[in-house]
Amino acid sequence: MSDAIAPAHSSVSLEASSSSELDALLARWRLRLASSNRELERAPVLPQLAVHRANEGPRETLRTKPRDDVTIRGSLAFFGEDRSPVVLFSAGDRWAHRGTMGVRGPFAVDLSGFGLSEAQQRALEFVAAWFGTAYDAVNLRPGRLLSWGFWHLSGAEMAEALAVYQRRSAKDFAVRVGRYGLALEMNQRAGSALGRPLELTLARGSGRPLRGSRAEAAVASDARLVAVLARAGQDEEAQRAQMEVVVRRCVIPSLARFVQGHAGKPSARLGDFLLAARHIACALLLSLTGGLARLSELALALKGLDRRWPIEERVAAADARLRAMLETMERAECTAELGRLWRTLESPELTAGALGSRSRVIAR
């Protein structure tokens, strides 16, 4: 996880203690995002996801502790009598947690139950382990008001993952998240009646709850609430919820990207040609770091290939086109993104067999 992007350290975090202060904080962050980060397109939200409210228990105002059982001692957040703290650090106007439970190791989620091929599973695991972060990480993605989990989920995707966690284990969600005033609701201001995205809400005493970006800003600036999200990410059901949303919102849409055919060849999808684990991983890396714009460049590079070709020919053609694309990028500029793509394409973890078999192949 050495390539997971972490924000620069700064002085002291700012806790939003009033509506006016929160508006000012949010305005500063929006200006910062607009000047330094490009807008990422969102994959469509699946409307069939069931959502349940989880804001049970007494509500707290932003002027008080979310719950009495969360204690901050320097950079450590303690929950009640639990002696295992969440380790935080200050990142400008917000708090962050680097995470302690990665996608590999004793807490690895079994990817075989998400409908992916073996090659797709290996590609997802590789990108998540090397270029993502930990399940319990919070606020490690620059350019987001609030991010959570190994894929830096934010906005509607983060809300969807929390809602899936709630659906999977309502009791654990209520104890780890809901009791601190955090809940999920449909965004009534966006989308159609059948396709409205979810948004995070934060209860604040007797007043109306904060919603969407204002709730995210309030959570990000509160050390206790950041610790709440970090601890939630340590729950196995929360980790499976993150993985489910990443598969649905990233892996499947990335491989379903349209590839134009020409000269009598039928149109196809990226997944018709990206069959080897290393090729799939490149697409997922582009999705993670560059959004749909980068995937469009990859689809353009594969334009004209024929999905009716034998599998071996499609794999070879995709490899040649992908390498040509990287060489073109290299002539234009040498960037960290380009280095990550070359590492992925040449990694021995992913070059074991053209279609993802575990037999090691040295000569490709």
Whether residue 244 lies inside any domain: the answer is: no
* DSSP-assigned states of every residue in 78-89: EETT---PEE-E
Do 197 and 308 fall into the same domain?
A: no
Whether residue 108 lies inside any domain: the answer is: no
pLDDT of residue 91: 82
Do 62 and 179 fall into the same domain?
A: yes
Q: Which positions ≥6 away from 289 have C-beta within 8 Å?
A: 131, 337, 340
Q: How far apart are CA 201 and CA 213, in angstroms?
A: 9
Q: Is 188 exposed, middle or buried (CB count within 10 Å of its CB: 0-12, 13-18, 19+)?
A: exposed
According to DSSP, the β-strands at 258-259 and 210-211 are unpaired
Whether residue 16 lies inside any domain: the answer is: no
pLDDT of residue 41: 35
Whether residue 22 lies inside any domain: the answer is: no
Q: 352: part of which helix (H) or strand (E)?
A: none
Whether residue 27 lies inside any domain: the answer is: no
pLDDT of residue 360: 37
| Tens digits of residue pLDDT in 134-166 | 999 999 988 889 999 999 999 999 999 999 999
Work out how many domains the chain is built from and give that number.
Answer: 2
Do 313 and 276 fall into the same domain?
A: yes
pLDDT of residue 196: 65
pLDDT of residue 108: 93
Q: How far apart are CA 221 and CA 17, in angstroms?
A: 10
Question: What is the block-wise mean pLDDT of the chain (364 residues), using blocks of 10 residues?
Answer: 44 44 62 45 34 37 54 94 91 92 93 96 97 96 93 95 96 95 81 68 84 95 96 97 97 93 76 97 93 86 92 96 93 83 96 50 33
Do 87 and 192 fall into the same domain?
A: yes
* DSSP-assigned states of every residue in 140-197: -STT-SSEETTTTEEHHHHHHHHHHHHHH-HHHHHHHTGGGTEEEEE-TTSS-TTSPP
Do 186 and 277 fall into the same domain?
A: no
Do 266 and 203 fall into the same domain?
A: no
Do 179 and 283 fall into the same domain?
A: no
Do 269 and 189 fall into the same domain?
A: no
Q: 315: part of which helix (H) or strand (E)?
A: helix 311-332
| Exposure on the CB side of residue 42, measured as CA atoms within 13 A | 16
Q: Which pTM does this prediction carry?
A: 0.79
Do 167 and 85 fall into the same domain?
A: yes
Token reading at 344: 């992925």
**Nearest residue to 253 via CA among 307, 292, 303, 198:** 292
Do 288 and 311 fall into the same domain?
A: yes
pLDDT of residue 336: 84
Whether residue 292 lies inside any domain: the answer is: yes
Give the residue numbers spanning the domain of 277: 118-133+256-364
